[in-house]
A and B are shown apart, each in its own frame.
Chain A
Amino acid sequence: MSKLKLATVWLDGCSGCHMSFLDMDERLLTLAELVDVVYSPIVDTKEFPHEVDIALVEGAVASIDDEKKIRKIRAHTKTLVAMGDCAVAGNVPSMRNPIGPQAILDRAYIENASAQPQIPCLVVPRLLPIVRPIHEFVKVDVFLPGCPPSADTFYAALTALVTGAPLDIPALTRFGA
């Protein structure tokens, strides 16, 4: 049996979910026998591959770039997993929603800038007015809440997804866990 192709993606989040993922430690070796990591911030692939079996997405959708990415990921992924509270519920990135992106940009690039106060607009992707969880843009197959989901949660969930065993997420984790 060929190994399943696993991708992990980092949108608007703190990378904490990826850290927790790595916290699986030696169990990563067990997983490596079942899956190949084909795309991830921790591997050196530039383009999202054409066919991915499982994609773990960390972070909320906060910019036009995030939106473009999540749509592409969805188009090329069999099982899309929202990894962590930002992807599942917006979490900390969504705390700017009540006041909107302009206030945040002003504070960061104008009010607190010591030299050349200006809001970057060339390379940096434009922010969306509202930060939203990924299921508001594309269909999500599995939700793994937690900030971050624990390494145990990752291991149990991924093992279940790979082997097709039943998966009881509320028994593993919750919002803010």
Chain B
Amino acid sequence: MSEAVEVKTLIIDDREVSGRRGQTILEVARENDIHIPTLCHLDGLSEVGACRLCLVEIKGNSKLLPACIATISEGMEVSTHTERLQKHRRTILELLFAERNHICSVCVANGNCELQALGQSQGLTHVRLPYRNPDLHVDASHERFTVDHNRCILCTRCVRVCAEIEGAHVWDVMGRGINSLVITDLNDPWGDSSCTRCGKCVQVCPTGALFDKSKVGAEHPKHPDFLPYLNMMREAQ
């Protein structure tokens, strides 16, 4: 006998919704057209809970929980857009914009950038924090792609897609704290690395940090939506 599907009923933003046991708050919210902002999350990749944008309030819990990881439970009362959460989201976005050199006007991803779009949707008109202006390099050694660390937000989507989907694990993170950097192999130039040239990392990168050399601006929308399909077909095999 197959295991019965266990249904949980909960409240998200004053709406009664239901989901299956084991589903995350984010999944159930999206199924019900409740929008929770995300940045490091991507359908088809493992969750790291690093960007903290999807934090939600749960009644009876003083801590904020990431909706991408926290699973639903019966009778749970979730708030996704309280003033407290919106304040934290804006501050987090400000921290991101001030951390590196995000010059939207000259970026290949201008108009197709998730960070830029989030800034707008969360009502950010300026950054109150002092810009850090770090001196970061651009690695254009790869024949097809470029990595511009000035635009990287360390969401580690590239790291995860390379390890989990492509199975190459070329990307990883080096350094600690504010000095962290995504690297290829053991900090070798991308062009000299063991990269398989599949280009998945470029497609999943939410900003203009990883880009295709042959495309700029409006011609460079990214298509990370291949992942769930790819995973589904692999499971079917």
Question: Which residue numbers of A lie inside 8 Å of B, CB to CB?
Answer: 82, 85, 88-92, 94-95, 97-99, 130, 132-133, 135-136, 140, 143-145, 147, 169-170, 174-176
A91 to B105, CA, bound (A): 7
A136 to B135, CA, bound (A): 21
- With A85-B105, A98-B135, A174-B120 known to touch, is A145 a contact of B125 (CB < 8 Å)? yes
- With A88-B126, A92-B106, A132-B131 known to touch, is A175 a contact of B101 (CB < 8 Å)? no
A166 to B65, CA, bound (A): 35
**CB contact between A170 and one of B97, B107, B125 (< 8 Å): that residue:** B125
- With A92-B106, A170-B120 known to touch, is A143 a contact of B125 (CB < 8 Å)? yes
For B133, the closest partner residue in chain A by CB is A97
Are B105's CB and A147's CB within 8 A?
yes
A95 to B120, CA, bound (A): 22
- A88, A97, A130 interface centre (most CB from chain B within 10 Å): A97
For B102, the closest partner residue in chain A by CB is A175
- With A82-B126, A88-B126, A133-B126 known to touch, is A147 a contact of B135 (CB < 8 Å)? no
A144 to B128, CA, bound (A): 14
B interface: dominant SS: loop
A109 to B125, CA, bound (A): 36
For B113, the closest partner residue in chain A by CB is A176
| Chain B residues within an 8 Å CB radius of A174 | 104, 116-117, 119-120
- A136, A143, A169, A174 interface centre (most CB from chain B within 10 Å): A174
Whole-angstrom distance between the Cβ of A95 and the nearest chain B Cβ: 6
What are 11 A-B interface contacts by the 8 Å CB criterion?
A: A85-B105, A88-B125, A89-B97, A89-B131, A92-B103, A94-B101, A94-B131, A99-B135, A135-B128, A147-B104, A176-B111
Are A176's CB and B123's CB within 8 A?
no
- Chain B's interface size range is 20 to 34
- With A98-B101, A174-B119 known to touch, is A89 a contact of B133 (CB < 8 Å)? no
Interface residues of B in 125-139 (CB under 8 A from A): 125-128, 130-131, 133-136
For B120, the closest partner residue in chain A by CB is A174
B110 at the interface (CB under 8 A from A): yes
A92 to B104, CA, bound (A): 9
For A145, the closest partner residue in chain B by CB is B125
| Chain A residues within an 8 Å CB radius of B62 | none
A98 to B133, CA, bound (A): 5
| Chain A residues within an 8 Å CB radius of B104 | 85, 147, 174-176
**CB contact between B136 and one of A89, A98, A132 (< 8 Å): that residue:** A98
